[in-house]
Amino acid sequence: MTAEQGLFLCAAAFTLASAVMVVSARRLIHAALWLIAVLSGVAILYALLQASFLVVVQVVIYIGAIAVLFIFAIMLTRRQTDHDAPSRWTRRAPAFLISLLTLGALSGIVLAFPEAGRLPPPMPPDLDAVNALGAALLSPTGAAAYAGVLFHESYVLPFEVASVLLLAALVGAIYLATTERRRRES
Amino acid sequence: MRNEWLYIGVFLIVAIIVPLVPLGFAALVAPRKPNPTKRLTYECGVETVGDAWVQFKAQYYIFALVFLIFDVETVFLFPWALALNRLPMFAVTEGAVFLGILVAGLVYLWRKGLLEWQ
Amino acid sequence: MSIPLSWYLFLAAALFCTGLYGALSRRNAIAILLGVELMLNAVNVNLIAFWRYLDLRPNDPAPMNGQAFAVIVFAVAAAEVAVGLALILSVYRRRKTVAADEVNLLKW
Amino acid sequence: MNFWNDPLHFLAEQLTAMLSRWGLPTAWITFIEFFLGAMALIVFAMVLDIGLVWVERKVVARFQDRLGPNRLGPFGLFQPVADIIKMVIKEDITPATADKFLYNLAPVLAAVAVIALWAILPLASTIYGADLNVGLLYVIAAGALGTLAVLIAGWASRNKFALLGAFRMVASLISYEIPMVIVLLVPTLLAGTMSLRGIAEAQRSIWFALLSPLACLIFLISAIAELGRAPFDLHEAESEIVAGYHIEYSGMKFGWFYAAELLHAFTFGGLLAILFFGGYTGFFGLEKLPAFIWLDNPFVQAAVFLAKAMVGYWVIMWVKYSLPRVRIDHLLAFNWKFLTPLALVVLVSTAILHRALMEAPRWQYGMALWLANLVIAWITIEILRAQARRQRRHQRAASQRQQTAQEQTV
């Protein structure tokens, strides 16, 4: 076993153990904090995959914003959520069964996938991934602008649509989160 | 070429160990004589009323919400800022449209009076 | 560089199913959303693993499909959390509950 | 390669040669070198931190017309040592109702969030931890960890004031992160890279503070808010909520919050120096002259960087000890209604000019950026003045109406 495999196994074990805690912790705030552990574990996996931009984005957006929003929401609904009462086994057993079946199905797909045993190709030495990502997201010719080739997949439209989606989410979420009285006042 | 993230991983491990050293040392030498009064919640001598984990103002949540959306949009501008030198002028407009949508959100909040603290 | 692609895929599958179990078994709506977050992260691990293993080809200088997908998943996740939590808060304000099985606004 | 030109690589090579003579595998050698490098950098930061205790106490004393610590050692230099001994031997009280694990985790997390910044801080062109190509976002990510530490501390203490302080702090932290992120895009644009070392190197001929003074100012303001220092320190507003999120902490655990705050302030002074004042370089091309070639020596560069960082730290202290605390509604309004729109305008104008004048002569490019900043500043001030005038007119009209009403009733 190489050092890299050891690192991967440590990160994977940490991520999965935290994930189990997320779905089993009684106190919701602890579940949210375990979610942060999962998110950091996933960030370590991104680092192993050499996707630098996504490592920092994972920490900035997921841990810095989404997890904080979760904690705020849990504290806003404190009266009910200090302890999440365990659901009955009639609910947990089918849930467990369904996830187990899904796991089996996904594992089957992975095992049947012809490229599953593949090892990673070497990173292109002069690839500036963030720069290329910017070109892919914003140039009509895609990463072509970065790489100097003729054509590449371009994500201009999805990127712009994503920003519209975020605006819509902002407006909708604000509408839902403010009370009627507050809305009438303004 | 060394792997920068490996170094940062090692650095973070050391960064966790270093604060633990004085804390461990303090745990060894510091006196420990707890009593129930000492371990009460500190509120300048007045006894605490009710649970301290109170429900708090919904307004904090609104600001966290606005922050989340703005954070996502601005972080995704970093690839744009980097690639700008290589891209045609079209990409600048592209980024400007993205920013314009961001500004639209800000204007909406402002007009709705949600940036006011009450 | 000695980790086969399947390791990442298995990990992502396990993470996805843990999230699925959380989303199905929890009563609290916020806890359900936490489970959904786990599932989204599993998807992103898959996307980045595919980028690293299959997207990067020796003769192709800058393929970014996996990362671009992941970025858009991030945006969608943010929107989902913002609206989802706002919905839960809105229901909580009316019904004083966040238990998913006690909310029957859309049931008949 | 010799010790004076490239100390880190020189030492690393010596160590590699020595260890491989002992027959250690390469992976272990790399790990040991990384470990020693990280250790050296962190110990340096910690020693600096101890020094900062003295600097902070001395400077605040001078601002308040006092002498400050002057008993222990020359100029009271040994005072921080006494402070540390006191912190360590103080009894550590954990509230009975606290969430034990999280309560103990928070101070460590607060310290880690600050120390982590030193992993990418370039002290000189050859003395740095990691040259990360996403350095600026890493800085923001470390800030996110700090936010988390505050939230955990406030929640785990199980104290109303701690929770209230934590929420105020988080509200101001996350609000001011937006203009900070927007304004960090400006050096990214100008340098064409996110690596801190690349940004410092890009300022060899001219500082970004001269190209975009407004961006520099916005960064300074949001950095002060990010640090939670006065005038943005209402999370610890002593007169209302005692001490904010660390009210329940005592002994060395409190000590880490305090130490982290000081080191954080100095580190942001350093970031200000790197992003806008050239960092370890930035002598306007002076180092190219044969007589000044020694300016490129890594040790001189490190000294220059630390001096610049100290100036930045001093400015942050100056602001802290001169201005009164702002109210929370003013704090949030100032951010969302003033700083964020201004940062957006600065970003867009910089982006357009930078892209349009990419091929133009450098002096035209620099002048255009500088003038654009000047125009934006002037327009902003005019808008603010018009607003203030309107407000004054309203107030005067209101008070006059009141007066006439009173006279009529009399």
Q: Which domains does chain C have, with CATH numbers?
A: 5-99 (1.10.287.3510)
Touching pair D, C by Cβ (3+ pairs < 8 Å): no
pLDDT at A78 over 80: no
When pLDDT is cut at 50, 70 and 90, the band that residue A147 belongs to is: low
Angle at A40 between CA A39 and CA A44, to 5 degrees: 115
pLDDT at C40 over 90: yes
Q: In Å, how far are A152, A173, D247, D254 from D162, measured between CA atoms?
A: 53, 28, 6, 13
Q: Which of D325, D145, D338 is nearest to D237 (CA)?
A: D325
From the number of C-beta atoms within 10 Å of its C-beta (0-12, 13-18, 19+), residue A26 rates as: exposed
Between A29, A36, A52, which is nearest D148 by CB? A36
Q: Tell me the nearest-neighbour CA distance from A22 into chain B, angstroms.
A: 21
Q: In Å, how far are A111, D98, D270 from B59, measured between CA atoms?
A: 50, 26, 34
Q: Do the beta carbons of residue D58 and residue D134 sit within 8 Å? A: no
Mean pLDDT of B3-8: 86
Q: Which two tokens stand for residue B81?
A: 């800022």
Q: In Å, how far are A63, D171, D177, D254, D262 from D226, measured between CA atoms?
A: 17, 11, 7, 19, 13
How much is the pLDDT for A152?
61
Q: Do the beta carbons of residue D31 and residue B10 sit within 8 Å? A: yes
- H or E stretch covering D381: helix D362-409
Query: Is B76 in contact with C89 (Cβ distance < 8 A)?
Result: no
How much is the pLDDT for B62?
85
Query: Is A68 in contact with D148 (Cβ distance < 8 A)?
Result: yes
Collapse the DSSP code of D361 into the 3-class scheme (helix H, G, I; strand E, B; otherwise coil) and give the result: coil
Mean pLDDT of A127-139: 78
Query: Is D160 in contact with B48 (Cβ distance < 8 A)?
Result: yes
CA atoms of A69 and B70, how far apart (whole Å): 13
Q: Does C86 touch chain B (CB under 8 A)?
A: yes
Q: Do the beta carbons of residue D227 and residue D261 sit within 8 Å? A: yes
- This model of the complex carries an ipTM of 0.90
Collapse the DSSP code of D391 into the 3-class scheme (helix H, G, I; strand E, B; otherwise coil) and give the result: helix
pLDDT at C31 over 60: yes
Query: Is C78 in contact with B72 (Cβ distance < 8 A)?
Result: yes
Query: Is A137 in contact with B80 (Cβ distance < 8 A)?
Result: yes
Query: Is A33 in contact with D27 (Cβ distance < 8 A)?
Result: no
**Quick one: angle between helices D26-63 and D79-89, nearest 10?**
110
Q: Which two tokens stand for residue D351?
A: 């982006």
CATH number, domain A1-85, options 3.40.1230.10, 1.20.1070.10, 2.60.120.1030, 1.20.120.1200: 1.20.120.1200
What end-to-end distance do the CA atoms of chain B give, in Å?
A: 54
Cβ-based neighbour number of residue B69 at 10 Å: 26
Q: Do the beta carbons of residue B74 and residue B102 sit within 8 Å? A: yes
Q: What are phi and psi of A88, to 5 degrees?
A: -65, 160
Question: Which residues between 295 and 324 in chain D have a beta carbon less than 8 angstroms from any beta carbon of chain B?
Answer: none
Q: Which two tokens stand for residue D145?
A: 């960890």
How much is the pLDDT for C66?
85
- Domains in chain B, please, with CATH? 4-111 (1.20.58.1610)
**Quick one: angle between helices D160-191 and D135-156, nearest 10?**
180
pTM across the whole model: 0.91
Cβ-based neighbour number of residue D17 at 10 Å: 10
Between D93, D177, D253, which is nearest B38 by CB? D93
How much is the pLDDT for D45?
92
Question: Which residues between 34 and 93 in chain B have a beta carbon less than 8 angstroms from any beta carbon of chain A?
Answer: 53-56, 58, 60-62, 64-69, 71-73, 75-76, 78-84, 86-88, 90-91
DSSP B43: S
Cβ-based neighbour number of residue D355 at 10 Å: 17
Which residue carries 């996830």 as its tokens? Answer: A99
Q: In Å, how far are C74, D31, D292 from A41, measured between CA atoms?
A: 16, 21, 48
pLDDT at B42 over 70: no
pLDDT tens track of chain D, all 410 residues?
A: 677 777 888 888 888 888 888 888 887 888 888 899 899 999 999 999 999 989 988 888 888 888 888 888 888 888 888 888 888 888 888 887 778 888 889 999 999 999 999 999 999 888 888 888 888 999 999 998 998 998 898 888 877 788 888 888 888 888 899 999 999 999 998 988 888 999 998 888 888 888 899 999 999 999 998 888 777 776 666 555 666 777 778 888 888 988 998 999 999 999 999 999 988 887 777 777 777 777 788 888 899 999 999 999 999 988 888 888 888 788 888 888 899 999 999 998 998 888 888 888 888 888 888 999 999 999 999 999 999 999 999 999 998 888 888 887 76
From the number of C-beta atoms within 10 Å of its C-beta (0-12, 13-18, 19+), residue B94 rates as: buried
A2 φ/ψ sector (left φ>0, alpha ψ -120 to 50, else beta): beta
How many CB pairs below 8 Å do chains A and C form together?
A: 282
CA atoms of C25 and A91, how far apart (whole Å): 6
How much is the pLDDT for C44?
93
For residue C99, what are the β-bridge partners?
C28
Q: What is the 3-state secondary structure (H, E, C) of chain A?
A: CCHHHHHHHHHHHHHHHHHHHHHHCCEHHHHHHHHHHHHHHHHHHHHHCCCHHHHHHHHHHHHHHHHHHHHHHHHHCHHHHCECCCCCHHHHHHHHHHHHHHHHHHHHHHHHCCCCCCCCCCCCCCCCHHHHHHHHHHCCCCCHHHHCCCCCCCCHHHHHHHHHHHHHHHHHHHHHHCCHHHHHHC
Between B58, B69, B76, which is nearest C82 by CB? B69
When pLDDT is cut at 50, 70 and 90, the band that residue A169 belongs to is: very high
How much is the pLDDT for D266?
93
pLDDT at B1 over 50: no
Question: Which residues between 25 and 64 in chain C have a beta carbon less than 8 angstroms from any beta carbon of chain A?
Answer: 25-28, 30-31, 33-35, 37-38, 41, 44-45, 48-49, 51-54, 56-58, 60-64
Q: Do the beta carbons of residue C42 and residue C8 sit within 8 Å? A: no
How much is the pLDDT for B34?
77
Q: Do the beta carbons of residue D70 and residue D219 sit within 8 Å? A: no
How much is the pLDDT for A150?
53
Collapse the DSSP code of B28 into the 3-class scheme (helix H, G, I; strand E, B; otherwise coil) and give the result: helix
Domain ranges for chain A: 1-85, 128-186
When pLDDT is cut at 50, 70 and 90, the band that residue A86 belongs to is: low
Query: Is A138 in contact with B83 (Cβ distance < 8 A)?
Result: yes
Pick from B95-104, C35-44, D138-147: least confident: B95-104
DSSP D4: T
How much is the pLDDT for D67?
85
